[in-house]
Amino acid sequence: MNWEGENLFQEKRPERLIDPNGLRLDGRKLDQLRQIKLEVGILDKANGSAYVEQGRNRILVAVYGPREAHPKHIALPDRAVVRCRYHMAPFSTEERKSPAPSRREMELSKVIREALEPAILSGNYPRTSIDIFIEVLQSDGGTRCAAITGASLALADAGIPMKSLVSACAVGKVEGQIALDLSDLEDKYGEADMPVAFMPSFNTITLVQMDGSFTLEEFAKALDIAAEACGQIHEMQKTALKGKYLSIKEEVEEKGEVEEAGE
C-alpha cells in the first residue's frame, strides 16, 4: 500500500449502482430507507439536543433558546429570531474538509433554517433568539435531511412549541430509476438528487431543492415518494421523543418502589 499522499479510504467509482436483482450497493431496494437511529437529550449543556444516525451519517444537533438575543440589534419585537449553523467536522468526509465555513455550508445553514422556521411558534418568544447548531460528524449523503430530522427533535427536546415536527428525506435517480434516500456514492454518480422536508400533518413542504435531471412526471412521482418516506420518519421521531419521557417515567416509578420498600 502506498502510504505517501494516497488517501487510504478512497472510494472508487463502482461499476454498477443497481445490481440485476434491483438491489443497491448496500443491499437496499429502491424504495427503502437506510437504517435510522434517533436519540434525544444526549447533551448536558444544550437546552435541547438530538443525535441522528442514518446509514453512515452521524449528526449531532443542539438547540440553545429561547435565550437573550446577542447582538441586541438582531432581536425582533414580535418574535424570536431563529438562527441555524450547519457545519461539517474536518474528519467527516473522505477528503479532509477545512473547518472554515464553506459556501455550501452557508447555503445549507440558510435552507435548513427555512425548513424549520415554518414549524416554530416563534411569536411566543419576542426579542429572543433560538439557535440551532448542527455538527455533521460523518457524512454519507443526505446530511441536510438527517440534520433537519434531528433539529426537529432537538427543538422539541428544548421544549420549544412547534406546529409540527419537520421530517426530511432525499429522493433521487440512480441508473434511470427513482431511488429513496441516496447515499453519497449514489448522489455523486446518480442522475438526480432531491432533498425534501415535510410537515406531514399539514401536507406542507418546507424544503425542496434539486439538482440533476427529472422530467416533470419523474419529479412529481419522486416528490410523492419523498413525502411518504417523510411520514415514516415522522413516526420514528415521535417514538424517539416518547422514549425520552418513558425512560423518565420508569426512573420515577423505580424510585417510588424503592421508597415504598424502605418504609
Give CA–CA dist 84/116, Å, rounded.
9
At what angle are helices 143-157 and 216-262 packed, to 10 degrees?
40
Nearer to other proteins, 107 or 254 (CB): 107
Q: Which is nearer to other proteins, 220 or 246 (CB)?
A: 220
Cβ proximity to other proteins, 43 vs 227, nearer residue: 227
Q: Which of 106, 105, 158 is nearest to 132 (CA)?
A: 158
CB closer to other proteins out of 26 and 105: 105
Question: CB 106 → other proteins: shortest distance, Å?
Answer: 5
CB of 92 to other proteins, least distance (A): 18
- Choose between 50 and 205: whose C-beta lies nearer to other proteins: 205
Nearer Cβ to other proteins, position 149 or 206? 206
Residue 117 CA to residue 110 CA, distance in Å, equals 11
For other proteins, the closer of residues 69 and 223 by Cβ is: 223
C-alpha 118/C-alpha 152 separation (Å) is 11
Contact set with other proteins (CB under 8 A): 103-104, 106-107, 109-111, 114, 117-118, 194, 199, 202-216, 219-220, 223-224, 227
Q: How far is the CB of 56 from other proteins (least distance, A)?
A: 20
Cα gap 254→11, rounded to integer Å: 50
Tell the burial category of 26 from Cβ atoms under 10 Å away from its Cβ (0-12, 13-18, 19+).
middle
Q: Are 99 and 90 in contact (CB under 8 A)?
A: yes
Pick the closest to residue 87 from 150, 46, 133 (CA basis). Answer: 133
CB contact at 8 A, 162 and 121: yes
> Do the beta carbons of residue 48 and residue 160 sit within 8 Å?
yes
Tell me the closest approach of the beta carbon of residue 41 to other proteins, in angstroms.
Answer: 27
C-alpha span between 142 and 187 (Å, rounded): 9
Task: Give least dist CB 61 to other proteins, A.
Answer: 19
Tell me how far, at minimum, the Cβ of 109 lies from other proteins, in Å: 7
Question: Taking the complex as a whole, how short is the minimal distance between the CB of residue 18 and other proteins, in angstroms?
Answer: 21
Show the cell assigned to 58.
452521524
